[in-house]
Chain A
Amino acid sequence: MIINGVSIDDTFAEAFGMRGIRLIITAYNETWALNSANAMTGFATSVIACGAEAGIERVLSPAETPDGRPGVSVLLFAVSSKELIKQIERRVGQCVLTSPTSAIFAGLEEGDPVPLGKTLRFFGDGFQTSKQIAGKRYWRVPVMDGEFLVQDTARMVKSVGGGNFLVLADTQVQALEACEAAIREMRKLTDVVMPFPGGVVRSGSKVGSKYKALSASTNDAFCPTLRGATKSELDERIGAVLEIVIDGLTDASVKKAMEVGMREVCKIGAAGGIRRLSAGNYGGKLGQFQYHLREILK
């Protein structure tokens, strides 16, 4: 399959079942909502070492938030319910509770319960109070700028982490600019985040390493500087490979984001130095979800 001169590999992205959650952070203005959301979703690129993968889904207008203030919706993913609960407690406790004027609410109505204010309320040292409003419980925790308002319980759902595609280009700059264009379009979608810096990752990994302590190591088959020295997947034209990783609340949302991103890259095409699209997988043995590039783009 070739689209606008871009060869689409006959391969698939392999993704994993994860636990995902949407939370809504509001604040006095968008700047402070983003400050809080950026801190909360920081250092959350990969579950391998961060415990969670997270990102900002989108900025919300006052009309879209529970308390009528500017807000941000964030998505957070972890490998298990237990880990997600732990990550939420830590990240909300350290990054939202601490952020001036912030409040945080559940962003999903359905799913399994996750304690939010239920545990954070104890920061109030007995001065915290709860309110049940329209069937939902909220906690008001006194803090130095007033009150931290937090919903008692949020909801988490079964979701998908690790959807991906690889952009193979003539040069590093061409690969990067194509990925930037793809990310711009993908960020218009809901239910997905691209958790790596700027949505793009350069250090794709393979399973295993020559070093016993490491479970993953550089994907040498896609490293252009090793083209002549390893069993490379790259031909002589490819100068750089970048990857976009997608976590989504649903299988369909990940698939849609992959399609939107790949089509945007294909628009640039061979004329812009884009040669191939490929994807990362583990032979189909590890992940529950497979996203075949050619099926998505047909």
Chain B
Amino acid sequence: MSALVLALRNAPAQRVDVGSLNPTALAGLSLADIAALTLSVGKRTVRVDDLFELSGDDSSDVVFRGDCSKLERIGAGMKSGRVTVDGDAGAYVGQGLLGGDIVVKGSAGAFCGTGMKRGRIEVTGDVADFAGAAIPGDMKGMAGGLLLVGGNAGERLGDRMRRGQILVSGNAGDYCGARMIAGTIAVAGKVGAYPGYLMKRGTLILNALPAQMLPGVVDCGSHRLGFLSLLYASWKGLPGPFGALDASACTVRRYMGDMGVSGRGELLVRGG
């Protein structure tokens, strides 16, 4: 069996919701069945084979090819299997993901990983604003699983995040971890202004603090935190700098905040 490849015939002019083209939804369907499925493109309804050239037969391993930057909700809600995007992906990658792996070999649009509960999303390039964040109207953003970003993350990374882990190898934009409820965000590069804005609980692991800090984030001193050795050990082997962290280097400078809300969140600056 070979991976089910969905190669775009032409880059779509409008956004296309391809959330239904995931291993869970396609399980048991023949290539002809998949080809006959319909997708909404603007006001039009089109068949899958109008948009994509199909090949392969393993629907548990779906590959999108071509300029996929207008394809939205890639891998949304899938429970298992693997989705690969050869290139950039649109918004809402892995929305509500329940299991399996999504790999974007490029950059992803806004709200990547929103509402995901389990599984893993790896974006080798950048993610736009609101990765792991709650979409408007939702109370919670990411609620579990692992989001790996090889490049940079935009603003409001993990806004209203409830659980899970986001690891960013590059930089993160302003308001990183804003309104965070729980979970862990680690950024290897720099973070923008005001990390932890209105953060209730959860952990931001940073290498340095930005110049613009909230007054509600308070310094609690330098400490060795034992849980970090377990956390770092669990990351061992992951791509990027987090996979190579020394599990015994657990001393951090701990800041708590945002005292404007419950203030049980923490910003841990590595190296203490």
Which A residues have a C-beta under 8 Å from some C-beta of B?
66-69, 103, 126-127, 129-134, 138, 140, 146-147, 149
Contacts and interface: CB of A to CB of B under 8 A. Distances in A.
23 contacts: A67-B230, A68-B229, A68-B248, A69-B229, A126-B264, A130-B182, A131-B184, A131-B203, A131-B230, A131-B231, A132-B163, A133-B227, A133-B230, A133-B231, A134-B230, A134-B234, A138-B230, A140-B225, A146-B223, A146-B224, A147-B227, A149-B226, A149-B227
Contacts of B184: 131
B201 interface: yes
A130 B181 CA distance: 12
B226 A103 contact: yes
Contact of B230 (A66, A126, A127, A129): A66
For B224, B229, B231, B233, the residue with the greatest tally of chain A CB atoms inside 10 Å of its CB is B229
Interface of B: 163, 182, 184, 201, 203, 223-227, 229-231, 233-234, 247-248, 264, 266
Nearest to A136: B230
Contacts of B233: 66, 68
Given A138-B227, A140-B227, A147-B227, A133 B234 contact: yes
Nearest to B118: A135
Contacts of B266: 129
A104 B226 CA distance: 11
A140 B229 CA distance: 13
Contacts of A103: 226
Contacts of A69: 226, 229
Nearest to B233: A68
A154 B230 CA distance: 17
For A129, A131, A149, the residue with the greatest tally of chain B CB atoms inside 10 Å of its CB is A131
Nearest to A132: B163
Nearest to A65: B229
Contacts of B225: 140, 146-147
A127 B201 CA distance: 10
B249 to A, nearest CB: 11
Nearest to B224: A146
Given A67-B226, A131-B230, 18 more contacts: A66-B230, A66-B233, A68-B233, A68-B247, A68-B248, A69-B226, A127-B264, A129-B266, A134-B230, A138-B227, A140-B225, A146-B223, A146-B225, A147-B223, A147-B225, A147-B226, A147-B227, A149-B226
B264 A129 contact: yes
B227 A131 contact: yes
Contacts of A66: 230, 233
A103 B201 CA distance: 22
Contacts of A134: 230, 234
Contacts of A133: 227, 230-231, 234
Nearest to A148: B226
A124 to B, nearest CB: 11
A126 B263 CA distance: 11
Nearest to A149: B226
Contacts of B230: 66-67, 131, 133-134, 138, 149
Nearest to A67: B229
Contact of B201 (A68, A129, A138, A149): A129
A133 B226 CA distance: 12
Contacts of A129: 201, 264, 266
Contacts of A146: 223-226
A67 B248 CA distance: 8
Contacts of A132: 163
A69 B226 CA distance: 10
